[in-house]
Every structure is written in structure tokens, then in C-alpha cells.
């Protein structure tokens, strides 16, 4: 596939095994298959939701895409270029286009750095500003873009609320004009009342700037409003993948049904009738493969 016809991101058989304990001779005795042969694509300007219980391998998938982790097997293609084994130097131009927003902006922001400097740091690193005045001007514009008053630029992270800090994290992520943002549970740690505001900010910024998101979440709540497509992950495997409409209207895998039943419904009458479907987190059978249910909609077979 050449670079022009390639999707923005393609992940092929991505696998990450962690060896959590070793015997006397350094041989691994226990292996966690955090990500176990995951494949999907993200188109330009598209949002793919990656959902699943805690421990299902979502963050590891994100970290592999971001090159924060080396894959055990499989490949990551960004704009048609394989990046899964690139070193730091070769990754540098790609870093501009591939950014991250973490769950907890407090731990991702340097507590001793004024937030304006945190947001401006990537601009400086990539040589996109030539003076302090220019940096300030660009940072002020980024603050406005994420709904923050630029006069707060000189404050420190602890002086902001959780929602404001996440806005700062987002400003930093968009500073270089990325094509893809991996957002790893960016609303999970926020008050429910703030979550919708941040989801709306993601939507507004996508409309303005046209970037794609890999939006990681452990439940389906906001995913419905934000994502074009959804991938459901269980024990390192994708068990279902389809458009948001397909997955919500016609869920195939029992785990997807359980996740949907666990998501609150905004309509109080229907919410009162909602019954949770329990699901044992059994790993999918090793021989199971994704089968097409309808065009664009895949679910893992029983065996």
C-alpha cells in the first residue's frame, strides 16, 4: 500500500507480552498477554473508541502506537510508514503528528512548570517559535482554543481544577497540529458534570482542526456521542469492531452487550428500566477469529 492511499493509522497483529516473573535462571515463568494480536485502522479525521474493562490492554495498545512501548509482535503504520520499531530520532517528525492526552493531567504536567510553559514546550522543542514573545502569543491562542483564559498562563498546575487541567493537557497535545491524538481515558478522572464539557471540546476541536482520535474509555457512556467507530477489547483481544450505530444497535459479542447494559441512558424512563447484563471476563478462546457480521462490523466467533 502506498502512503497516499493508506489510512492515517493501521495496526496489524499488534502484540505485547509482559513477563511478570522470572525463575532463578532468568527464564520467564509468567506471561501477561496484555495485547494479543490486535488489528484496526483509523481514518483521517475519524474517532475510534477503544473500550473495555480495566486491564484489557487498552493503554498498552495506545502506548505501542505512541512508541512508548516496544511490541512483542505486529506492526503499526502511520500514514503508510511502519513506525513500530523506529528509534527516537526517526520518530521525531512523527511525534509532531501523533500526540497523547492522558487520564490524569496532574501527573502528565510538570508541577513546577508554569502551565503556559508546559503548553509551549513542544513548540520550543520542535523549533516552531523563535522568541519568548512569539511563544506567549501562540500559547495564548492555544489557551483560547481550549476554552481557557490566557491570563492563567503563568499559574501552576495545582491552581487549576481537574477539568481545567485536562484542557491544559489538550492544549499541549494540539500545539503541534497533530493528525492523531491518542486520548487515554481523558475524562475518567473528572466529575460527571465536567465530562460532557471535555467531550464537547474534543468534538469542537476535531471539527476545527480535523484530527483523528483514538479515544480510550472503560465504558460506553460518552463513546456513543464522540466516536464514529468502536472497538471492544477483552483480555488483549478485540472482540467486536464496527460503526458506533452498528455496535449499539446490533451488538454481537456477549461482552459488548454487557458493556452496553452497563452504560447509563440519559432518558430517565428508559434508565429506570435498564438492567445490567452480567459477564464473566473469560478470555476469548484462542482459536476465535473476527468474522464479518455486516459490512464494516466484525465480531469474534465462538471458537
Ligand X SMILES: Nc1ncnc2c1ncn2[C@@H]1O[C@H](COP(=O)(O)OP(=O)(O)O)[C@@H](O)[C@H]1O
User: Which of Mg ion, ligand X, none lies near 57, with the C-beta cut-off 5 to 8 A by kind?
Assistant: ligand X
- Name 274's bridge partners: none
- Residue 245, judged by CB atoms within 10 A of its CB (0-12, 13-18, 19+), counts as middle
47 or 145: CB nearest ligand X = 47
32 or 290: CB nearest ligand X = 32
**Helix (H), strand (E) at residue 299:** strand 297-300
User: Which of Mg ion, ligand X, none lies near 293, with the C-beta cut-off 5 to 8 A by kind?
Assistant: none
Residue 298 CA from chain centroid, whole number: 20
User: Residue 163 and residue 223: Cα distance in Å, rounded?
Assistant: 18
Size of the site for Mg ion (CB under 5 A): 1
In the complex, what is the shortest distance from the CB of residue 226 to ligand X, in angstroms, rounded to a whole number? 18
Binding site for ligand X (CB under 6 A): 18, 20, 32, 34, 52, 54-60
Asked if 108 is part of the footprint of Mg ion (rule: CB under 5 A), the reply reads no
User: Which of ligand X, Mg ion, none lies near 55, with the C-beta cut-off 5 to 8 A by kind?
Assistant: ligand X
In the complex, what is the shortest distance from the CB of residue 164 to ligand X, in angstroms, rounded to a whole number? 25
User: Which of ligand X, Mg ion, none lies near 20, with the C-beta cut-off 5 to 8 A by kind?
Assistant: ligand X
In the complex, what is the shortest distance from the CB of residue 19 to ligand X, in angstroms, rounded to a whole number? 8
In the complex, what is the shortest distance from the CB of residue 202 to Mg ion, in angstroms, rounded to a whole number? 18
Buried b (16+ CB within 10 A) or exposed e, 203-231: eebbeeeebbbbbbbbbbbbbbebbbbbb
User: Which of Mg ion, ligand X, none lies near 2, with the C-beta cut-off 5 to 8 A by kind?
Assistant: none
- Judging by DSSP bridges, how do beta strands 28-42 and 9-22 pair with one another? antiparallel
**Helix (H), strand (E) at residue 90:** helix 88-95
Q: Which of residues 44-63 bind Mg ion (CB under 5 A)?
A: 59
57 or 122: CB nearest ligand X = 57
- Residues engaged in binding Mg ion (CB under 5 A): 59
Amino acid at each position: 500500500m502506498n502512503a497516499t492511499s493508506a489510512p492515517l493509522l493501521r495496526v496489524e497483529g499488534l502484540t505485547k507480552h509482559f513477563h511478570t516473573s522470572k525463575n532463578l535462571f532468568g527464564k520467564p515463568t509468567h506471561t501477561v498477554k496484555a495485547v494479543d494480536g490486535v488489528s484496526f485502522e483509523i481514518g483521517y479525521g475519524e474517532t475510534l473508541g477503544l473500550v473495555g474493562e480495566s486491564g484489557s490492554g487498552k493503554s498498552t495498545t495506545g502506548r505501542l502506537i505512541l512508541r512508548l512501548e516496544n511490541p512483542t509482535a505486529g506492526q503499526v503504520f502511520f500514514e503508510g510508514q511502519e513506525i513500530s520499531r523506529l528509534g527516537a530520532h526517526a520518530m521525531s517528525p512523527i511525534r509532531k503528528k501523533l500526540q497523547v492526552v492522558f487520564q490524569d493531567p496532574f501527573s502528565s504536567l510538570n508541577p513546577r512548570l508554569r502551565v503556559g510553559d508546559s503548553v509551549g514546550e513542544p513548540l520550543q522543542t520542535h523549533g516552531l517559535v523563535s522568541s519568548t514573545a512569539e511563544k506567549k502569543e501562540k500559547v495564548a491562542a492555544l489557551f483560547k482554543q481550549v476554552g481557557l483564559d490566557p491570563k492563567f498562563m503563568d499559574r501552576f498546575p495545582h491552581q487549576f481544577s481537574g477539568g481545567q487541567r485536562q484542557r491544559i493537557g489538550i492544549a499541549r497535545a494540539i500545539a503541534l497540529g497533530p493528525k492523531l491524538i491518542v486520548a487515554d481515558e481523558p475524562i475518567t478522572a473528572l466529575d460527571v458534570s465536567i465530562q460532557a464539557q471535555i467531550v464537547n471540546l474534543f468534538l469542537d476541536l476535531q471539527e476545527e482542526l480535523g484530527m483523528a482520535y483514538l479515544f480510550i474509555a472503560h465504558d460506553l457512556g460518552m463513546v456513543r456521542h464522540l466516536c464514529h467507530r468502536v472497538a471492544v477489547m477483552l483480555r488483549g483481544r478485540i472482540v467486536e469492531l464496527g460503526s458506533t450505530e452498528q455496535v449499539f444497535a446490533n451488538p454481537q459479542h456477549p461482552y459488548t452487550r454487557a458493556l452496553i447494559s452497563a452504560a447509563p441512558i440519559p432518558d430517565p424512563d428508559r434508565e429506570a428500566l435498564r438492567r445490567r447484563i452480567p459477564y464473566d471476563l473469560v478470555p476469548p478462546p484462542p482459536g476465535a477469529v473476527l468474522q464479518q457480521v455486516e459490512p464494516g462490523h466484525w465480531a469474534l466467533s465462538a471458537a
